[in-house]
Amino acid sequence: MKITVVSSHRGDAALALGLAIEVWLAEGHAVEVVSCFTRSEFAPYSDAGSLHANDRMSFVTAVRKREDEAWRKQRGAAKLTLTDLNLKDAPIRLHCGLEKVFGRPADISEKVVSKIRRAVELSKAGAMVLPLCLDGHVDRISARAAALPAETSSLPLAFYEELPYAARAEGEGALAGALAQLPMMLQTELQPVFASALDGTGDSIDGAVLRKRRVAWCYDSQIDESVTTEIAEFSRRYGGRERLWGNAAWRVDATLMPKAT
């Protein structure tokens, strides 16, 4: 099956779904990560701050592309492809500060909507995974709104919890609100699902946490060691797995959630 994962920014999908994607690839699925808002100036742990403003976006965009490629190479899988939509992220596109990207309505500009929808159509997905938008970031809300299929009952569809936000107390508190923003049919249908081939033993859980940490290390221009640990350790809450919210069509396909409990 072709699984299309919509990632608002570079790293969103890897940090939230690194273990699940590993399992799907092992099951023989092809995974395409569609990264939407990839032109950015956000890389607080890079050398971008020392650059002239005119050079910052190109530098950061290149750095974050290398991080995504490092993650793809870490997986060593020919069936993992990365698609870059090359849209500007919210602070650049909407001319707002970092603190103003949360709680805004979806960006319904023609360029954003048409580019994301076209990429999703071209992906010819057999299953789709979208951001849940726990933190209300306008880029995530916009990507989800543009990519959400008009008809969702027959397509296996799941939503992922963004990290590190989901690992924090406010993330769990935001869950009900995020689910309530989805179409009513989906709200009543979605249930927690997991993708894991682990057997639930302590050693396997520790191994999953370590693999999760290795994924997070790829994105060291964006997160520091404390956040890397926070992201990695969060998978321990679910027995070395990552929680998604899947519709009925997703839940009936055993290859999307092997050995799920």
Q: 16: closest CA among 187, 123, 133?
A: 133
Average pLDDT in the 212-223 region?
96
Contacts of 176 (CB under 8 A, 6+ apart): none
Strands (DSSP E) contained in 191-257 are 191-194, 243-246
CB 6 within 8 A of CB 115: no
Residues facing residue 89 across a β-bridge = none
CB 32 within 8 A of CB 123: yes
Residues facing residue 192 across a β-bridge = 245
Average pLDDT in the 184-195 region?
91
User: Which helix (H) or strand (E) segment is 197 a member of?
Assistant: none
In this predicted structure, what is the pLDDT of residue 51? 85
Range with the poorest average pLDDT among 66-70, 130-134, 145-149, 172-176: 172-176
Dihedral-angle region of residue 37 (phi above 0 means left; psi in -120 to 50 means alpha; beta otherwise): beta
pLDDT at 201 over 90: no
Handedness of CA 113, 25, 243, 154 (dihedral sign): positive
> CA-CA distances (angstroms) from residue 237 to 51, 132, 157, 174?
40, 19, 23, 17
Q: Tokens at residue 254, please?
A: 């055993």
Report pLDDT digits (tens) over 79-114: 999 999 999 999 999 999 999 999 999 999 999 999
Q: Where are the domains of the chain?
A: 2-251
Q: Could you tell me the pLDDT band of residue 260, with boundaries at 50, 70 and 90?
A: very low
In this predicted structure, what is the pLDDT of residue 198? 53
> Whole-model pTM?
0.94
CA distance between the termini of the chain: 22
> Whole-number mean pLDDT of the chain?
92
| Pairing state between β 30-35 and 127-131 | unpaired
Q: Could you tell me the pLDDT band of residue 3, with boundaries at 50, 70 and 90?
A: very high
* Separation of alpha carbons 69 and 73, rounded Å: 6
> CA-CA distances (angstroms) from residue 247 to 3, 111, 226?
15, 29, 34
In this predicted structure, what is the pLDDT of residue 197? 52
CATH topology of domain 2-251: Rossmann fold (3.40.50)
